[in-house]
């Protein structure tokens, strides 16, 4: 797993992907930071974090689009699948590689918090809690998009489907209010990523939110392993 | 048999040499391979008549199509086996199943006593595989790539030395820092080859390793495969016959997912051709010559061969196996005054045999 993780990470930085993702992330977070904290003299990063939710939905498909689709297209999966590593190790290695790049993106929030500390006392507990939230959200989205990438041979398809999935996840909240059948709307509202994430941005750390994101992550990584396994048997 | 590390730990180089001599003596009658690692560690493998790979009733279905249909064969230790067949015959599928890339619909594969489905990790460690398209991460440098493959294969040898050794073996010295993307096809193939050799696996499987290489590279790769056969069990596939007959001990011909021939390379051609064709070129009237040859006892068929000049005509003469008609032909031609310009045995070439066999199997299906 270590070797796959290392290769994955170096793969991101040997291609433009990691730099593009980092740049886009820094640009938008910097813009929101300037807009909400500087222009309005606020010491709260909540708005910045809240808005980054939408950016993340679009950035993660780009980050993960290559993970399995490109391996399949270039036939490099033959090297992985015929070497003595288990599918779980392959999936975890790739997941952690993408997650590390994402974590690097999120590191910028600490910088913002430090910048605030020059002018005012930042709410460190809220910042750290939100940072945990954004990392968990990222992990869940990466797992979903890695799964999507494992379904196709084309990274463009993987990226587009991933972004569409991101849009659906974003807008689940709106659909909830439109559906009159109560049990469906309740079920949907429980799947709304935004509500769980918003809790974090308020500095509320609850087990429900953490468990939600962790289980989504685990579930989709498990699905990915199953997809790879199934492909072998088909 | 293997000596434990602890026992060998204390052994000096000199003792090790003696041990090697000793074991070679003990196992004189069997083919003993003694491998030395840096003078101290010593591995002794005893290669009696042992099956390295056993494939049993292998079938792979894609929907209703059977890509591989009930294939069974075994490969002995140290043997070089050639897999021959037209494109789409099931060569790659069979190899992919043996290496564990895809699973079979039914049937088993055993490599060195390990079954691929029961102990996938252990089995995969015993196999080095070069697929049809070398599985290269093109954005990496050659050395980085080989280091990665070294790691995921969990090779226990000293990393730098081993990679150097393998790179030297396939002729990649001084290419370590090149990015694979910028390499020519021949060199990419070598990197793929190097990757398959990492960790000195007992079994090496090569899927059409010479496709797309220039003649010089093909000869080099063939030489390499032949050398590998001494220490490793090799299976390699090709649809080029001359290549297989030049490098392999044994040939298996596959067509439409079935084995249609399995024999030693030289046996295959002699057993199937069996001296039953003669090519005769004689000067004179074609119809007379043909009529005269037909009279000779033992002749089954006389056919005019396309390659004829104005005066001379060439005939393909088919005769009963075992009947030597060369003298009779000479006498007959002398009698009618048609001088023989050329007469040669038209023993079926491997190419012809291969075509005939693969055609036959198709005819049988339809």
**CATH code where residue B314 lies:** 3.30.70.1340
Provide DSSP, B268-332. Answer: HHHHHH-S-EEEEEEES-HHHHHHHHHHSTTEEEEEE-S---SSEEEEEEEE-TT---HHHHHHH
Tell me which residue of A143, A163, A140, A166 sits closest to A62, measured CA to CA: A163
Q: Say if residue B62 is in the same domain as residue B137.
A: yes
Asked if pLDDT for residue B5 goes beyond 50, the answer is no
User: Which among B222, B237, B271 is the end of a domain?
Assistant: B271
Asked if pLDDT for residue B243 goes beyond 90, the answer is no
Write down the pLDDT at residue A6: 93
Q: Please count the structural domains in chain B.
A: 3
Would you call B127 and A232 a contact, using CB atoms and an 8 Å cutoff? no
Q: Does B144 touch chain A (CB under 8 A)?
A: yes
CA distance B218 to chain A (A): 23
CA distance A22 to chain B (A): 20
SS3 B214: coil
Write down the pLDDT at residue B3: 44
Would you call B152 and A83 a contact, using CB atoms and an 8 Å cutoff? yes
Q: Say if residue B19 is in the same domain as residue B110.
A: no
Q: Say if residue B144 is in the same domain as residue B237.
A: yes
CB atoms within 10 A of CB A203: 17
Q: Please count the structural domains in chain A.
A: 1
Question: B19-56 burial, b for 16+ CB within 10 Å, e for fewer?
Answer: bbeebeeebeeebbbbeeeeeeebebebbeeeebbbbe
**CATH code where residue B219 lies:** 3.40.50.300
Interface test with B, best of A19, A79, A230 (most B CBs within 10 A): A79
Closest residue in A to B195 (Cα) is: A79
Would you call A82 and B127 a contact, using CB atoms and an 8 Å cutoff? yes
- Widest CA span of chain B, in angstroms? 86
Q: How confident is the model at residue B38 (pLDDT cuts 50, 70, 90)?
A: very low
Q: Say if residue B134 is in the same domain as residue B195.
A: yes
Residue B326: inside a domain: yes
Q: Say if residue B67 is in the same domain as residue B178.
A: yes
Q: Say if residue B164 is in the same domain as residue B291.
A: no
Contacts of B129 in chain A (CB under 8 A): 78, 82
Q: Say if residue B283 is in the same domain as residue B143.
A: no
Write down the pLDDT at residue B10: 43
Indicate the residue of A6, A76, A84 with minimum beta-carbon distance to B135.
Answer: A76
- Who's near B174: CB < 8 A, 6+ residues apart? none
Q: Does B102 touch chain A (CB under 8 A)?
A: yes
Would you call B101 and A14 a contact, using CB atoms and an 8 Å cutoff? no
Bridge partners (DSSP) listed for residue A134: none
Q: Which residue stretches of B110-197 are H helix?
A: 120-125, 142-152, 159-169, 185-197
Q: CA quadruple A44, A45, A48, A52: dihedral positive or negative?
A: negative
Would you call B139 and A233 a contact, using CB atoms and an 8 Å cutoff? no
CA angle in degrees (0–180, nearest 5) for B314-B315-B321: 145
Would you call B140 and A86 a contact, using CB atoms and an 8 Å cutoff? no
Q: Does B129 touch chain A (CB under 8 A)?
A: yes
For range B142-160, the mean pLDDT = 92
CA distance B104 to chain A (A): 7
Indicate the residue of B99, B136, B153 with minimum beta-carbon distance to A76.
Answer: B136
Q: Does B118 touch chain A (CB under 8 A)?
A: no
Q: How confident is the model at residue B309 (pLDDT cuts 50, 70, 90)?
A: low
Give the tens place of pLDDT for each residue, B105-148.
Answer: 889 999 988 888 888 889 999 999 999 899 999 989 999 999 99
- What is the rounded CA–CA span in Å between residue B228 and residue B197? 9
Give the tens place of pLDDT for each residue, B254-291.
Answer: 888 888 888 787 776 565 555 577 888 888 888 888 88
Number of CB pairs, chain A paired with chain B, less than 8 A apart: 69
Write down the pLDDT at residue B90: 87
Indicate the residue of A11, A75, A84 with minimum beta-carbon distance to B124.
Answer: A84
Contacts of A74 in chain B (CB under 8 A): 135-138
Q: How buried is A170 (Cβ within 10 angstroms: 0-12 exposed, 13-18 middle, 19+ buried)?
A: middle
Which residues constitute the domain of residue B127? 51-271
Write down the pLDDT at residue A133: 92
Write down the pLDDT at residue B64: 85
- What is the rounded CA–CA span in Å between residue A135 and residue A129? 10
Q: Say if residue B41 is in the same domain as residue B155.
A: no
Give the tens place of pLDDT for each residue, B59-70.
Answer: 998 888 888 888
Q: How confident is the model at residue B97 (pLDDT cuts 50, 70, 90)?
A: very high
User: Which among B233, B249, B271 is the end of a domain?
Assistant: B271
Write down the pLDDT at residue B35: 43
- What is the rounded CA–CA span in Å between residue A215 and residue A231? 24
For every one of its 234 residues, what pLDDT tens digit does chain A have, with 9 covering 90 and above?
Answer: 889 999 999 999 988 899 999 999 999 999 999 998 888 888 888 888 888 888 999 999 999 999 999 999 998 999 999 999 999 999 999 999 999 999 999 999 999 999 989 888 888 888 899 999 999 999 999 999 999 999 999 999 999 999 999 999 888 888 888 888 888 888 888 888 888 888 888 888 889 999 999 999 999 999 999 999 988 887
Q: Say if residue B251 is in the same domain as residue B330.
A: no
Q: How confident is the model at residue B241 (pLDDT cuts 50, 70, 90)?
A: confident
Q: Which of residues 167-206 of B touch A (CB under 8 A)?
A: 195
For range B28-34, the mean pLDDT = 42
Complex confidence, ipTM: 0.88
Q: Which residue has the higher pLDDT, B80 or B39?
A: B80
For range B166-176, the mean pLDDT = 89
Indicate the residue of B101, B120, B148 with minimum beta-carbon distance to A3.
Answer: B148
Distances (CA, A) of B134 to B79, B124, B360: 23, 17, 33
Closest residue in B to A6 (Cα) is: B148
Which residues constitute the domain of residue A191? 2-233
Indicate the residue of A79, A84, A232 with minimum beta-carbon distance to B195.
Answer: A79
User: Which among B271, B292, B311 is the end of a domain?
Assistant: B271
Residue B356: inside a domain: no
Long-range CB contacts for residues A179-182, cutoff 8 Å, separation at least 24: none
Residue B354: inside a domain: no
Q: Say if residue B287 is in the same domain as residue B178.
A: no
Would you call A78 and B135 a contact, using CB atoms and an 8 Å cutoff? yes
Residue B358: inside a domain: no
- What is the rounded CA–CA span in Å between residue B143 and residue B205? 22
Would you call A78 and B154 a contact, using CB atoms and an 8 Å cutoff? no
Closest residue in A to B121 (Cα) is: A84
Closest residue in A to B95 (Cα) is: A82
- What is the rounded CA–CA span in Å between residue B106 and residue B293? 54
Q: Say if residue B172 is in the same domain as residue B190.
A: yes
Q: Say if residue B283 is in the same domain as residue B191.
A: no
Asked if pLDDT for residue B304 goes beyond 70, the answer is yes
């Amino acid at each position: 797993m270590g070797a796959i993780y290392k290769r994955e990470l170096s793969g991101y930085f040997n291609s433009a992907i990691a730099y593009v993702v980092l740049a886009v992330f820094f640009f938008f977070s910097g813009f929101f930071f300037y807009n909400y904290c500087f222009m309005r003299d606020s010491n709260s990063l909540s708005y910045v974090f809240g808005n980054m939710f939408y950016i993340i939905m679009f950035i993660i498909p780009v980050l993960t689009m290559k993970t399995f689709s490109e391996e399949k297209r270039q036939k490099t999966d033959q090297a992985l699948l015929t070497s003595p590593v288990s599918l779980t190790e392959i999936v975890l290695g790739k997941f952690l590689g993408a997650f590390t790049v994402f974590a690097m993106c999120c590191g910028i929030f600490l910088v913002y918090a430090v910048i605030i500390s020059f002018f005012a006392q930042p709410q460190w507990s809220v910042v750290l809690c939100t940072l945990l939230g954004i990392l968990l959200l990222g992990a869940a989205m990466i797992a979903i998009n890695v799964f999507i990438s494992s379904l196709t041979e084309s990274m463009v398809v993987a990226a587009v489907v991933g972004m569409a999935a991101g849009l659906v996840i974003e807008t689940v909240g709106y659909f909830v209010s439109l559906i009159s059948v109560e049990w469906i709307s309740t079920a949907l509202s429980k799947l709304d990523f935004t509500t769980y994430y918003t809790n974090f941005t308020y500095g509320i750390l609850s087990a429900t939110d953490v468990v939600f994101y962790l289980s989504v992550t685990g579930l989709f990584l498990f699905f990915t392993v199953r997809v790879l396994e199934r492909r072998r048997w088909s | 048999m293997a000596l434990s590390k602890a026992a060998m730990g204390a052994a000096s180089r000199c003792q090790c040499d003696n041990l090697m001599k000793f074991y070679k003596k003990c196992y004189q009658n069997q083919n003993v391979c003694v491998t030395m690692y840096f003078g101290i560690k010593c591995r002794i493998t005893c290669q009696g008549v042992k099956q390295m790979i056993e494939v049993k009733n292998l079938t792979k279905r894609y929907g209703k199509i059977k890509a591989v249909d009930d294939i069974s064969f075994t490969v002995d230790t140290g043997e070089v086996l050639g897999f021959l067949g037209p494109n789409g015959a099931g060569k790659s599928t069979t190899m992919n199943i043996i290496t564990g890339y895809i699973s079979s619909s039914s049937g088993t594969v055993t490599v060195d006593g390990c079954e691929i489905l029961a102990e996938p990790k252990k089995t995969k460690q015993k196999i080095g595989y070069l697929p049809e398209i070398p599985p290269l991460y093109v954005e990496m440098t050659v050395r980085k790539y080989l280091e990665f493959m070294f790691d995921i294969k969990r090779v226990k040898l000293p990393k730098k030395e081993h990679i150097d050794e393998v790179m030297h073996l396939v002729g990649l010295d001084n290419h370590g820092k090149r990015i694979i993307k910028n390499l020519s096809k021949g060199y990419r193939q070598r990197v793929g080859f190097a990757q398959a050799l990492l960790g000195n696996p007992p079994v090496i499987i090569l899927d059409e390793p010479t496709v797309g290489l220039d003649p010089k590279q093909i000869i080099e790769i063939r030489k390499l495969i032949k050398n590998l056969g001494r220490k490793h069990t090799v299976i390699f596939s090709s649809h080029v016959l001359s290549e297989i007959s030049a490098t392999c001990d044994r040939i298996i011909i596959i067509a439409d997912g079935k084995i249609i021939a399995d024999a030693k390379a030289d046996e295959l051609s002699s057993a199937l051709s069996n001296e039953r064709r003669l090519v005769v070129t004689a000067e004179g009237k074609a119809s007379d010559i043909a009529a005269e040859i037909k009279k000779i006892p033992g002749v089954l068929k006389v056919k005019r061969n396309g390659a004829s000049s104005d005066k001379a005509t060439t005939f393909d003469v088919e005769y009963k196996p075992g009947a030597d008609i060369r003298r009779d032909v000479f006498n007959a031609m002398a009698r009618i005054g048609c001088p023989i310009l050329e007469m040669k045995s038209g023993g079926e070439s491997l190419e012809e045999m291969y075509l005939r066999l693969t055609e036959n199997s198709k005819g049988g299906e339809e």
